[in-house]
Structure 1
Amino acid sequence: MTSGRAAERLLGARARLRWVHLILGGALLMPYFLLAQAGVGVAAGGANAFSSLPLTLASYALALPPAALTGMLGPVRPLSVAAVRALCGVPGERLAEGPARSWAARRRASAWWTLHLGVGAVLSGMTLAVPPMAVTLMALPFVGALREARLGWGGLGTDAGPYAAPLLGAGLLAGLVLCAAGAGAVLARLAPVLLGPTGADRLAAAEERAADLAVRNRLARELHDAVGHALSAVTLQAAAARRVLDTDPGFVREALAAIEDTTRRTVGELDAVLGLLRDGDPARPDAAPAPTLAADLDGLLARTRAAGAAVTARLDPGPAGDWALLPAIASREAYRIVQEGLSNALRHGAGPVDLRIRLRRDARGGDHRELEITMTNTPAAPDGREPRTTGGRGLHGARERAALLGGRVEAGPHGNAWRLLAVLPLAGADR
């Protein structure tokens, strides 16, 4: 190790910050020490604990157990972690977040707290005592009054030779620096062990990330399906209206009315999604209700036809004969899947769209039912390339929606057409 690197480790910015961290620990132990010192003084018949080294050591030892008990409190770990990150140079990912969630984590945090305060108190005492002593020793050969005072150190500087005192003083300062750097390095190594995440912490963090990811994916699906479909429909409606602006005013009026209706509905849906992003509350009283197969399928088909797509819909709600009897979550997810299929047909299709939605009993029989959505259309290939075989974000979102209900979505070539097939089990779905 070069002298420059050695000096950096002993007196560099990180070493100095760790020294400050240790002195902070000594300051935190002081209330416990003063209480223990008062108790020791009473037990010793009113003696001053600071006047006797054994009494001082006894006060120090008695101060550590109550400090350890304090370390079991929940806020101790986040406070310790914040101090370690700021002053000890330990990477944040190696330290736990938040209060301790288990007794094992509390015990580890208590061990760290006690170690920090105990070592910090010793080093703080050294920091207060050693520099004045070292300066006095280094000045001893040059100040006659100091040599004559003998200072209670066995006459050092007179009988033992005054010129040895500066070397001893320099050695004391060097020892203090070495002790501070060594103690700081040891505590920095122990911090991830005692303040690092436990298995429970990692599990809680993973669950939090999974929940956050699920919310983000849900918002992404809602934005993609609502806004993406609206933009596709409005673009096609506007393009069709522009082409016949001078020859078919009636169609232009219908296209403009469809654009108005599409944008109005989409603004409501977008406001609901943005409200969830802003407030985290999907149940705001002013939020637009989520579209469902029962209430909004006819409007979706009408807007798609107004965009220029020929859509044939065959709907079979089963013996009940009413889509409103579908579980609410299934009705919402089915609407979004149909919406995504029609959006793809508008963007990438070249022929009429055949849509079939039917309610049927699944293979298990009994009361188990499932909703089957089948949509086929001829894909466009204006550039002569092979028809696509994989979906984009929208189809990925449709698969996620179906998976939430235990169903599936398949999309791909089917003969000369492109087919979207979705099967949504209804058993156990909440209304």
Structure 2
Amino acid sequence: MRGRLGRLLGVRARLRWVHLVLGGALLMPYFLLSQVVVGMVAGGANVLISLPLSLAAYAAALPLAAATAVSPLVRPMSVAAVRAMCGVPGERLAEGPARSWAARGRTAAWWTLHLGVGALVSALSLGVPPMAVVLLAVPFVPALRGTGLGVGWFSTEAEPYIAPLLGAGLLTGLVLCVAGSGALLARLAPVLLGPTAADRLAAAEERAADLAVRNRLARELHDAVGHALSAVTLQANAARRVLDSDPGFVREALTAIEDTARRTVGELDVVLGLLRDGDPARPDAAPAPTLDADLDGLLARTRAAGTPVHADLDPGPTGGWAQLPVIVSREAYRIVQEGLSNALRHGGGPVDVRIAVRTGPGEDPAHGGRGEKERNGPVELEITMTNPPAASEGREPRTTGGRGLRGAAERASLLGGRIEAGPHEDRWRLRAVLPLSAGTR
């Protein structure tokens, strides 16, 4: 019993009542405009004192309301009201303005239904309670008897004690009508204000874009911080081992640790700045590392960690790493950084690094007349890194890469390139091929 009364008179039922009354209030401008038109058509008659003309004005106001509801901003306003007052879960309702015509049509249907039903409920809410109060007071106020309140077979003068029953019935009917109307709108809200197929697609694309940004930031953090921690750990470990016997090496290791930490803090500041919405790039923020500006330092810091590195660098026909596209140079640096990080963490032996710009076989003039044609074709940046596998130190051999190698593969894929990582002969090899445009030559 208490549950039924709660559904009829509880907080949610009262909020839905207010929602319906607001709908009736929103219909008033349309109704006032339509009643002027209906009054003119009816020869200047007063619409408010004629029930048929009032109903005609009400019917004419609904298409006007529907026409204005095609505005994209009507849906977010309606959704906000439904969430606050009708108790409809937010995930069942659409987000943002209605952009497609299908969504606008459904919004217009909801707007018309809300305002139309709300106007009827508002009229009942204004008229029924005073009438019910009068009927309840008829037995106790003789002056109210015989005042023309008769309804067919009933007369307040002849049967005054039936009036309270009729008044209570009117109030009960009003409550039931309001509760039923509120429940109807709450049931139809997800249907008319719910996301369309286009809304779901837009939401999926937005989530995919957010995920792509998160993955990019995760790659940057992993590559920058992961490599730095690996290098610093090895440098500190090597310095600790020779702390008493080789102070000069310890001094160099501490200098390398300081330099690595300083550079990593700068890169971390740039990445964290991207996480702040609307945070403009700082003018003093460190630029993203590239092959041209930072490769030598990366190799030097790796050597300072105690890992021998042999580098074979061949910029080929580009004339230098500075001629590479910035995005290719940046991603190539990160791929090399990840390869060195893997060597520091897993291999522990000497690392051979080869970075070369290669072209098709027709680049050699000895290939007859094909040389000039091939020279206008695509160019590729090839990165090959080899080091002893982890099994050489008594550990299980690696068969797949970790998060860093997956991130490197994503970097190469975004540029249209590819990566191969795994055992090769008796060593572990990381090979990346990144395409370059012909204009970089």
Q: Match of 1:351, SS? A: coil
Among 280, 305, 309, the residue aligned to 1:307: 305
How far apart, in 2, do the equivalents of 1:227 and 1:169 lie? 77
Among 187, 190, 194, the residue aligned to 1:189: 187
Corresponding residue for 2:173?
Answer: 175
How far apart, in 2, do the equivalents of 1:261 and 1:269 lie? 12
How far apart, in 1, do the equivalents of 2:207 and 2:345 lie? 34
Among 393, 396, 403, the residue aligned to 2:403: 393
Q: Are the equivalent residues in 2 in contact too, given 1:405–1:429 (CA < 8 A)?
A: no
The change in CA–CA distance for 1:17 and 1:429 in structure 2 (over 3 A counts) is: farther
The change in CA–CA distance for 1:363 and 1:152 in structure 2 (over 3 A counts) is: farther
How far apart, in 1, do the equivalents of 2:405 and 2:336 lie? 11
Q: Match of 2:238, SS? A: helix
How far apart, in 2, do the equivalents of 1:403 and 1:72 lie? 43
How far apart, in 2, do the equivalents of 1:61 and 1:163 lie? 39
Corresponding residue for 1:368?
Answer: 378
Q: Are the equivalent residues in 2 in contact too, given 1:40–1:59 (CA < 8 A)?
A: yes
Structure 2 residue 432 is the aligned partner of structure 1 residue 422: yes
Q: Are the equivalent residues in 1 in contact too, given 2:415–2:434 (CA < 8 A)?
A: yes
| Runs of 4+ in structure 1 over 6 Å off | 428-431
1:83-109 Cα offsets, whole Å, 9 max, x none, are 111111222222111111122222221
Correspondence 1:144-183 to 2 at 5 A: 144-151=142-149, 153=151, 156-158=154-156, 161-183=159-181
Amino acid at match of 1:370: E
How far apart, in 1, do the equivalents of 2:105 and 2:351 lie? 66
Residue 302 of structure 1: how far off its partner (Å): 0.2
Residue 239 of structure 1: how far off its partner (Å): 2.1
Residue 66 of structure 1: how far off its partner (Å): 2.2
The change in CA–CA distance for 1:50 and 1:218 in structure 2 (over 3 A counts) is: same
Q: Are the equivalent residues in 1 in contact too, given 2:318–2:324 (CA < 8 A)?
A: no
How far apart, in 1, do the equivalents of 2:402 and 2:48 lie? 76
The change in CA–CA distance for 1:428 and 1:56 in structure 2 (over 3 A counts) is: farther
Residue 76 of structure 1: how far off its partner (Å): 0.7
Structure 2 residue 218 is the aligned partner of structure 1 residue 220: yes
How far apart, in 1, do the equivalents of 2:113 and 2:438 lie? 55
Structure 2 residue 147 is the aligned partner of structure 1 residue 137: no
1:9-45 Cα offsets, whole Å, 9 max, x none, are 3233322222221111011112222333344445555
- Which is worse superposed, 27-36 or 81-90? 27-36
Correspondence 1:22-421 to 2 at 5 A: 22-44=20-42, 47-151=45-149, 153=151, 156-158=154-156, 161-280=159-278, 284-361=282-359, 366=374, 367-380=377-390, 385-421=395-431
1:132-178 Cα offsets, whole Å, 9 max, x none, are 22222233233322223243545834466233322222222221122
1:226-252 Cα offsets, whole Å, 9 max, x none, are 121112212221222222222212112
1:156-211 Cα offsets, whole Å, 9 max, x none, are 34466233322222222221122112111221122122211222222222222222
Q: Are the equivalent residues in 1 in contact too, given 2:145–2:157 (CA < 8 A)?
A: no
Give the percent of matched residue pairs that are identical in Structure 1 and Structure 2. Answer: 77
How far apart, in 2, do the equivalents of 1:406 and 1:293 lie? 19
Q: Are the equivalent residues in 2 in contact too, given 1:272–1:282 (CA < 8 A)?
A: no
The change in CA–CA distance for 1:429 and 1:219 in structure 2 (over 3 A counts) is: farther
How far apart, in 2, do the equivalents of 1:384 and 1:6 lie? 73
Residue 315 of structure 1: how far off its partner (Å): 1.9
Amino acid at match of 2:435: P
Q: Are the equivalent residues in 2 in contact too, given 1:374–1:420 (CA < 8 A)?
A: yes
How far apart, in 2, do the equivalents of 1:75 and 1:124 lie? 25
Corresponding residue for 1:12?
Answer: 10
Where does the alignment leave 5 or more consecutive residues of structure 2 unmatched? 364-373
Amino acid at match of 2:396: E
How far apart, in 1, do the equivalents of 2:40 and 2:440 lie? 70
Where does the alignment leave 5 or more consecutive residues of structure 1 unmatched? none
Q: Are the equivalent residues in 2 in contact too, given 1:409–1:423 (CA < 8 A)?
A: yes
How far apart, in 1, do the equivalents of 2:112 and 2:361 lie? 64
1:221-276 Cα offsets, whole Å, 9 max, x none, are 11111121112212221222222222212112211221222122222222222222
How far apart, in 1, do the equivalents of 2:277 and 2:90 lie? 29
- TM-score, normalised relative to structure 2: 0.89
How far apart, in 2, do the equivalents of 1:123 and 1:11 lie? 15
How far apart, in 1, do the equivalents of 2:42 and 2:251 lie? 101
Q: Are the equivalent residues in 2 in contact too, given 1:329–1:429 (CA < 8 A)?
A: no
How far apart, in 2, do the equivalents of 1:384 and 1:304 lie? 23
How far apart, in 1, do the equivalents of 2:130 and 2:391 lie? 88
Amino acid at match of 2:103: A
Corresponding residue for 2:369?
Answer: none
How far apart, in 1, do the equivalents of 2:434 and 2:99 lie? 39
Root mean square deviation of aligned Cα: 2.6
Corresponding residue for 2:368?
Answer: none
Q: Are the equivalent residues in 2 in contact too, given 1:140–1:157 (CA < 8 A)?
A: no
How far apart, in 2, do the equivalents of 1:409 and 1:89 lie? 52
Q: Are the equivalent residues in 1 in contact too, given 2:323–2:440 (CA < 8 A)?
A: no
- Which is worse superposed, 174-183 or 398-407? 174-183
Q: Are the equivalent residues in 2 in contact too, given 1:330–1:429 (CA < 8 A)?
A: no
The change in CA–CA distance for 1:72 and 1:166 in structure 2 (over 3 A counts) is: same
Amino acid at match of 1:420: L
Q: Are the equivalent residues in 2 in contact too, given 1:329–1:430 (CA < 8 A)?
A: no
The change in CA–CA distance for 1:282 and 1:298 in structure 2 (over 3 A counts) is: farther
